Amino acid sequence: MDHVIIFDTTLRDGEQSPGASMNVPEKLRLATQLEKLGVDVLEAGFPAASPGDFEAVQAISKKIRGVQVAALARTSKEDIERGWAAIRDAAKPRIHTFIATSDIHMKHKLKMSRDKVIQTTLETVRYAKSLTDNVEFSAEDASRSDRDFLCRVFEVAIDAGATTVNIPDTVGYSIPDEFGELVAYIRDHTPNIRKAVMSVHCHNDLGLATANTLAGVKAGVRQAEVTINGVGERAGNTSLEELVMSIHTRSSLLDLCTRINTREIYPTSRLVSMITGIIVQPNKAVVGANAFAHEAGIHQDGVLKNRMTYEIMEPATVGLDTNRLVLGKHSGRHAFRQRLNDLGYDLEKKEVDRLFGKFKELADKRKELLDEDIEALVAEEILRIPDVYKLLYLNVVSGTVAVPTATVKLMIEGQEAQGAGFGIGPIDATFNTIAKMVGSSAGLLRFSVNAITGGMDAQGEVTVRLQENGLVSLGKGTDPDIITASAKAYINGLNRLGYLKNNPSLKAEERRL
Ligand code: KIV
Ligand code: ZN
């Protein structure tokens, strides 16, 4: 069977989703999980975009040894130099450079002639090749480009040293037959195409990203660019789990395989959702909460008789085991540390000790803790940026007759402070009180609450999006009590806003929001 290279761009195109920016520890954590998932190439970021991006790509390059680490760069010497500086320490670095090839982009955005685009491609790919053997070239907006011009650009890129040529459907405009034909045309009309791996990169504006990627694969590409949960610019990118499970489930039809460890799909999906605060829709293929839920009586009856009646994949294949290892209040430090290691967290002793205390507190409230609960604890306690504001105490009075009132004690830059306030509901009262105490006028753009696991005693996971003076931040909080989870999320959002204000290097990331 032929192997399809899985190029994951969750950390780059995925991070371009509105509200999805991640901090460096979060990116490192995700990169570690992507390595465990078995992706072949991991696009760590766009180093020339901001100092924050550069720092993250460099940190990932130093840490991740088993996967190729790619840096995105425009076709300019400065971008390539910056990209290379960020990935030069990687075990397997790749420079990914791109230029638009559609008439509409060349005329209005680049203001370049076709000849100039060819010349720029030649010079930049050649320069990238002088730094590393592993160079990918993308023709942005390929699906709306003149086909013969596209073939010419790819020919020049390959002659200049590109080892992978990527065909993006940048605006998600193609439909599968048409996209498959485009790939076949490029394959048949680019004289030196066999010297490079062909790749596709599809966006989901018409909901066709996975179908278009499969059409490309059927027409001969051997690299697919994807993101976890399909996160990405606008309507997102091809989702890794949909493509990989299509290839896995229909391998005899397609005669193809990937190197993905499918059992890591669900844990990776959870992690991305937790880090970005972007909740997976319940009916999302493969990883949605309802993906394996059978509601109709006839279906339930069939599944009980033989799962294959209505199930084309086993939940365990994507890492959704019902008999996962459960920890509880009697679990010891050793089992806890082991579970953290199995989940991919390589933490220092003092971090494990801190987490273990929190774990015991939570285990006292809930009988059983699942992996998701432990991941939420790590996100709460370890992956956070340094807190200026910390919640010490919260008491809320609310009900059908009482005026919702909150009393809050915070640690503000090392000093304890207490305040009280009202609101139209308990969460509003809590947010008003905290805002007054820290002197914030941030607006609340989004508030969402989600249960991390099933059951009446599930932890609540709250995400808020705050905006102040043109900056936008995402705050997350988890707790068995959803009002406390909301307070934690709000405080986390305020801490992140403060962090952005004090770190101008990160502002470029936030401007993308
Ligand atoms: O969508 C796109 O065209 C891209 C390129 C940079 C590959 O993300
Ligand atoms: Zn893209």
Residue 108 amino acid letter: H
pLDDT (tens digit per residue) in 188-245: 999 999 999 999 999 999 999 999 999 999 999 999 999 999 999 999 999 999 999 9
Q: What is the DSSP string of 207-256?
A: S-HHHHHHHHHHTT--EEEEBGGG--STT-B-BHHHHHHHHHHTHHHHTE
Segment 430-436 shows an average pLDDT of: 97
Share of the chain above pLDDT 90, in %: 66
Q: Pocket residues for ligand 1 (CB within 6 Å)?
A: 13, 98, 138, 140, 166, 168, 170, 201, 203
Range among 22-36, 122-136, 449-463 rated most confident:
122-136
Eight-state DSSP code of residue 110: I
Q: Which of 61, 77, 89, 69 is nearest to 9 (CA)?
A: 69
Q: Count of residues for the chain?
A: 513
3-state SS assignment for residue 364:
helix
pLDDT (tens digit per residue) in 40-92: 999 999 999 989 899 999 999 999 999 999 999 999 999 999 999 999 999 99
Which position has the token pair 């509200």?
19
Q: Name the closest-CA residue to atom 8, ligand 1.
A: 13
Q: How far is the CA of 88 from the CAs of 60, 62, 81, 94, 124, in angstroms?
A: 11, 9, 10, 9, 17
Indicate whether 331 pLDDT > 70.
yes
Indicate whether 145 pLDDT > 90.
yes
pLDDT (tens digit per residue) in 18-31: 767 788 888 998 99
Indicate whether 356 pLDDT > 50.
yes
Q: Which of 243-257, 359-373, 389-403 has the lowest mean pLDDT?
A: 359-373
Q: What pLDDT is attached to residue 505?
A: 56
Q: pLDDT: is 32 or 458 the higher one? A: 32
Indicate whether 448 pLDDT > 60.
yes
Q: What pLDDT is attached to residue 509?
A: 40
- Each residue of 458-473: b (16+ CB within 10 Å) or e? bbbbbbbbbbbeebbb
- Each residue of 86-99: b (16+ CB within 10 Å) or e? bbeebebbbbbbbb
Indicate whether 186 pLDDT > 80.
yes
Contacts of 426 by beta carbon, 8 Å cutoff, 6+ apart: 396, 397, 398, 404, 406, 483
d(CA 299, CA 335): 39
Indicate whether 293 pLDDT > 90.
no
Residue 9 alpha carbon, nearest atom of ligand 1: 8
Q: How far is the CA of 181 from the CAs of 20, 175, 189, 448, in angstroms?
A: 34, 10, 12, 42
Q: What pLDDT is attached to residue 513?
A: 31
Indicate whether 342 pLDDT > 80.
no
Q: β-pairing, 5-8 with 41-45? A: parallel
Residue 237 alpha carbon, nearest atom of ligand 1: 1
Q: Please say whether the beta carbons of 247 and 253 come within 8 A.
A: no
Q: How confident is the model at residue 504 (pLDDT cuts 50, 70, 90)?
A: low
| pTM (predicted TM-score) | 0.84
Q: What pLDDT is attached to residue 253?
A: 96
Indicate whether 451 pLDDT > 90.
no
3-state SS assignment for residue 80:
helix
Residue 136 amino acid letter: E
Q: Which of 221-235, 263-277, 444-458, 480-494 has the lowest mean pLDDT?
A: 444-458
Q: How far is the CA of 249 from the CAs of 37, 51, 252, in angstroms?
A: 17, 42, 8
Q: Any idea which ligand is nearest the CA of 231?
A: 2
Range among 204-213, 294-303, 334-343 rated most confident:
204-213
Q: What pLDDT is attached to residue 506?
A: 53
Residue 168 alpha carbon, nearest atom of ligand 1: 3
d(CA 24, CA 22): 7
Q: Name the closest-CA residue to atom 2, ligand 1.
A: 170
Residue of 7, 170, 179, 225 to test ligand 1 pocket, by largest number of atoms within 8 Å of CB: 170
Q: What pLDDT is attached to residue 34?
A: 97
Cα–chain center distance at 140:
21
What is the rounded average pLDDT for all residues in the chain? 91
Q: pLDDT: is 4 or 274 the higher one? A: 4
